[in-house]
Amino acid sequence: MTEGNMWLNETIGVVPKNAWAIDPFGYSPTMAYLLRRMGFENMLIQRTHYELKKDLAKNKNLEYIWRQSWDIDESTDIFVHMMPFYSYDIPHTCGPEPAICCQFDFARIRGHSMYELCPWGQHPVEIDHDNVQDQALKLLDQYKKKSTLYRTNTLLVPLGDDFRYVSTDEAEAQFRNYQSLFDYINSDSNLNAEAKFGTLDDYFEALREETDRINYSRPGEIGSAQVMGFPSLSGDFFTYADRQQDYWSGYYVSRPFFKAVDRVLEQTLRGSEIMIALLLGYCQKPVCEKIPTSFTYKLTAARRNLALFQHHDGVTGTAKDHVVVDYGIRMHTSLQDLQIFMSKAVELLLGHPHEKSDKDPSMFEPEQARSKYNVQPVHRSINTPEGSAHGVVFFNPLEQTRDEIVMVIVTRPDMTVLDSNWSCVKSQVSPEFQHDKGKILTGKHRLYWQASVPALGLRTYYIAHGFDGCEKAKPATLRLFSDSDQLHCPSPYACSRLEGNMAEIKNQHQTLSFDLRLGLLQKIKDNDGTVTVVGEEIGMYTSPESGAYLFKPSGEAKPIVQGGGHMVISEGPLVQEFYSYPKTTWDESPVSHSTRIYSGKDTSQEFVIEKEYHVELLGHDFNDKELIVRYKTDLDSRRVFHSDLNGFQTSRRETYDKIPLQGNYYPMPSLAFLQSSNGHRLSVHSRQSLGVASLENGWLEIMLDRRLIKDDGRGLGQGVMDNRPMNIVFNILKESNISSALNPVSTSLPLNPSLLSHRVGADLNYPMHAFISKTALPTSVRPPARSFSPLTASLPCDLHIVNFKIPRLVKYSQQPPEDSRFVLVLQRRQWDSSYCRKGGTNCSKIADEAFNLFHMFKDLTVLNARATSLNLLHDDTEKLGYIEQFGKVAQEGHVKISPMEIQAYKMELRPHKRT
């Protein structure tokens, strides 16, 4: 949005204030919030549930003020016009009767139309002197009928459709005929109407002018001071249905592979933008300016490729195959470009000596890489020669110091880990698994250790082979089960046989129990003795009527896991893992999965259960199948759960018997949680967008992938058959409240995640970026300690840096002296205080006190600091709805942010003058 808004302003001098979104399939209040804070005043939306439209129309509430659920100051209010009928095309915009409205789509005139004729059998004719009266009165009758659904005398009638106005002849036909009709209507004062062409802005200006004169408020109605005469509403518009009981909940999951790539590109772009800002803030060498500015074109392309995929037929998975390929290639190209840049930036920020030419290849390469746009990333294998060490650098893109168990792949197990001071680090080595029934063990190894990386900073570790001064990585012990005796004990691990009906893995906080017959998670036992039933189940819907948009199962999901298969338990001092390649009806299982728990100290990981599902819904055996995982817990949630909206806020969801199963599915961009009346809560954080439901008391069901033959009649013209092998990762968090909380069943207000839950979600969606040195160092030569720590301290743990960037890269010498190149965007998270405040992590403070921008960066002076809109185009923050929150930023640097707010600041950074 920022990139697009700035482009409009720079290219044609326009700062947008009206949002037009006729085709997204349901609407989130997060978008309304972001638009308001960008300086937008009005929104127009179309695709909302047909029953909801009917109810709003009946009460003349199709125009309303959209307010956020937490807002008691009316500061988030934005005016919304909702279109009243089935579609946004001409037959469905002039009035309630499409057969009549279609007669006024003059691009369809018989004989010279490139568009289909009206399906109702009555077609448009050219307006002339003989028919203008009849046609004008017929059109005006539709206008009058439509106007009864709204409060004001100002009526909007859009005139267009997808792929329209492709020729001047078509545009001329519409304009010429409508002008004749308007001339007739406007010339007869008895009709008491005026009709004219106008823009969306003209409509909203006319409406606001009318409401300034006439108050349309209803008795007892809660309105807004922003635009008088309309009700204020809160909430979201999911799940959308356009007719009968066709719910558009399938697109929440369609093409999950590319939904995952989208998230990776987003976090890589953000990481690159932070690195550019740090380079230009801290490094005074010419190469530190030259490399980012020479990267400008590719950075802009990455922003636009990410933005392009946010299209309502992009990230939704509802584009034609060849369009998906184009999206995929664009995102892959940008990912590669960004990773190459980050590899070079790491070198510069760590102060490695470099040649004068900026064209020198980087010393580092990303730890993960993709060979093509449509394959999973793979971990690079570290093959360290005897007597040498490879450097591994971690970049932490979050605002708090990160203590985390990290992992790299090594070709041999006898490795040692050293930190940047050449001190020994305890480590663990475990076998690497893969989704291959005949060869579950790859022959490579996962090397784990606990890393500590400063906020927005870098730290180097070394993987050494043949270093005598430290203990080698401790091999995990393995327990194996195979119903075909294909699993053999790999060297150098000690193995035993998995026997009995149940098996456990545990760390200092929890013990997990598994059903050994099916290889599925059954229970979580906390260290205080509390037991929570989880009841993991993997199932499949058969859905011959589903398509890219619609989810229309023919019945309940059926479990697919049978007794048997292959299972491995790997246990070590840092990581414990249960791996299962299950037996199913199919010879090649469509899914295998791992459950991991970690024993890191002072990490968020130690509280988390990590679930990783490898999904391969490939081949005709899985046509018209939709794969789900279901957690059948014993939490008394009464079929109430919460899911997130854009990773920004949560919405309360309740399952209803009166609507079909598919209508009870909701979007899950990153989080869903169940909570019982006693405060026990089970949260599932996702690394990508999926769909979620709670169809029975205590159940949480998440769809993983879908493969569908048919088109569902919503415009795509094909099924969804281009499934890719992929990994879906969840972080599951079991929490108990420490004080009384709102009853999640009886309250209609959305609940908030805990502080720990916010941290877990941030760690999952903003993972550390790892880079490996291309060449090994001899262990006989101790390298200088290499780390980079730009912040004076971690930020308060409910304060999040949405981004820290330079929107437009220009050479410092070309920058106006008073300009502010840098932008810092901060978000204060709202959290549920009935759960443990610190969550066991190193959280030392929260943002109740003002945060000082001037003291944020080590060795940098902050100049020209001022508040701005989220699209960076408005500096009058009162217009954006912010109230008394920005304080004296420019003079004193004090930033005070209310929970749930996002605020942006422009600033200039200069290195401290050395005395």
User: Over the stretch 647-686, which tens digit does the pLDDT of each residue have?
Assistant: 999 999 999 999 999 999 999 999 999 999 888 999 999 9
Can you list the domains of the chain with their CATH numbers? 1-237 (3.20.110.10), 477-641+688-732 (2.70.98.30), 795-914 (2.60.40.1360)
Q: CB pairs under 8 A, 24+ apart, for 367-375?
A: 367/392, 367/408, 367/770, 367/771, 367/772, 368/770, 369/339, 370/332, 370/335, 370/336, 372/332, 373/261, 373/325, 373/328, 373/329, 373/331, 373/332, 373/333, 374/257, 374/325, 374/328, 374/724, 375/724, 375/725
**Half-sphere exposure at residue 215, Cβ-oriented, CA atoms within 13 angstroms:** 9
Distance CA(475)–CA(857), nearest Å, equals: 41
Query: Which own/partner contact pairs does 613-616 have at CB distance under 8 Å and 24+ positions apart?
Result: 613/704, 613/727, 613/728, 613/729, 613/730, 614/435, 614/725, 614/726, 614/727, 615/256, 615/590, 615/591, 615/704, 615/705, 615/725, 615/726, 615/727, 615/728, 616/435, 616/588, 616/590, 616/591, 616/723, 616/725
* Amino acid 837: pLDDT: 57
Six token digits for residue 915: 């005395």
| Most distant CA pair in the chain, distance | 101
pLDDT value, residue 833: 87
Mean pLDDT of the chain: 94
CA distance 720 to 317: 9
| 3 state SS of 366 | strand
CB neighbour list of residue 431: distance below 8 Å, 6 or more residues apart:
441, 442, 444, 445, 446, 476, 478, 490, 493, 568, 570
**pTM as predicted:** 0.96
3 state SS of 702: strand
Q: Which of 694, 662, 401, 664 is nearest to 549 (CA)?
A: 662
Helix (H) or strand (E) holding 447: strand 441-453
Runs of H (alpha helix) within 102-191: 132-147, 168-187
* Closest C-alpha among 495, 580, 479, 575 to residue 538: 580
Q: Of the candidates 72, 87, 83, 69, which has an alpha carbon nearest to the alpha carbon of residue 30? A: 69
Say which residue the tokens 């290499």 belong to. 786
List residues with catalytic annotation. 23
- pLDDT value at residue 915: 47
**What is the identity of the amino acid at 654?**
E
Q: Assign residue 637 a region: left if phi > 0, alpha if psi is -120 to 50, beta otherwise? A: alpha
Task: State residue 817's pLDDT score.
Answer: 60
pLDDT at 841: 61
Segments of the chain scoring below 50 in pLDDT: 915
CA 720 – CA 712 distance, rounded (Å): 10
Q: Which helix (H) or strand (E) covers residue 759, if one does?
A: helix 755-765
What CA–CA distance (Å, rounded) separates 883 from 240?
A: 34
